[in-house]
Amino acid sequence: MAQFMDVHRGMKGLTREQLEEAHQADLRLQAEEGVEFKHAWLDPKQGVAFCLSEGPDAEAVRRVHERAGHPPDEIYELPLEV
Amino acid sequence: MAQFMDVHRGMKGLTREQLEEAHQADLRLQAEEGVEFKHAWLDPKQGVAFCLSEGPDAEAVRRVHERAGHPPDEIYELPLEV
């Protein structure tokens, strides 16, 4: 398993409820792709969300988000952390 | 205190040792700006690093990184998380 950060842009004004709803949609689908979403953060002023996940590869992470209706703009694999 | 994610680009090929060294430089300076860096992740292939921190404002986060020699390309304030 690898770790990933994906970035969603165009999220200006998203509310806490909308963020939770989007995250729940990911959680409902993630097992089918072998992905586990760990955390999501949102800057509603600049309209950017970050999702931290573990999964087999970036494409599996992308598929969960796409099936949930919010494809990410960027996905980064994170082999190093401190 | 608020929470921030900052993004550093142009980090292709950065090693674990270099990431740790850069993070330690931030930790040595952070108290002077009232900032606490919580975590850093690196994608060495795409050359992107993410730093999660708490601090009084984005400018304080920026000052720590600038003084440590690695100004961030983007800083996001994250009032919402799940």
Domains of chain A: 2-77 (3.30.70.3090)
Q: Are B12 and B81 in contact (CB under 8 A)?
A: no
pLDDT in tens, B8-30: 999 999 999 999 999 999 999 99
Q: How far is B31 from chain A (nearest CA, A)?
A: 18
Structure-block tokens of residue B75: 């800083």
- The average pLDDT across B57-70 equals 98
The pLDDT mean for chain A works out to 98
**pLDDT band per the 50, 70, 90 thresholds, residue A54:** very high
Do the Cβ atoms of B76 and A43 come within 8 Å? yes
The three-state DSSP-derived secondary structure of chain B is CEEEEEEECCCCCCCHHHHHHHHHHHHHHHHHHCCEEEEEEEECCCCEEEEEEEECCHHHHHHHHHHCCCCCCEEEECCEEC
**pLDDT band per the 50, 70, 90 thresholds, residue A65:** very high
Q: How far is A79 from chain B (nearest CA, A)?
A: 7
**Cβ contacts from A onto B, under 8 A:** 71
Report the percentage of chain B scoring pLDDT > 90. 100
Partner residue opposite B50 with nearest CB, options A5, A19, A42: A5
Q: How far apart are CA B8 and CA B73, in angstroms?
A: 5
The three-state DSSP-derived secondary structure of A9-34 is CCCCCCCHHHHHHHHHHHHHHHHHHC
pLDDT reported for residue B29: 98
Report the percentage of chain A scoring pLDDT > 90. 100
Largest CA distance in chain A: 33
Do the Cβ atoms of A76 and B23 come within 8 Å? no
- The average pLDDT across A33-48 equals 98
Number of C-alpha atoms within 13 angstroms, CB side, residue A20?
Answer: 4
The pLDDT mean for chain B works out to 98
pLDDT reported for residue B59: 98
Do the Cβ atoms of A79 and B44 come within 8 Å? yes
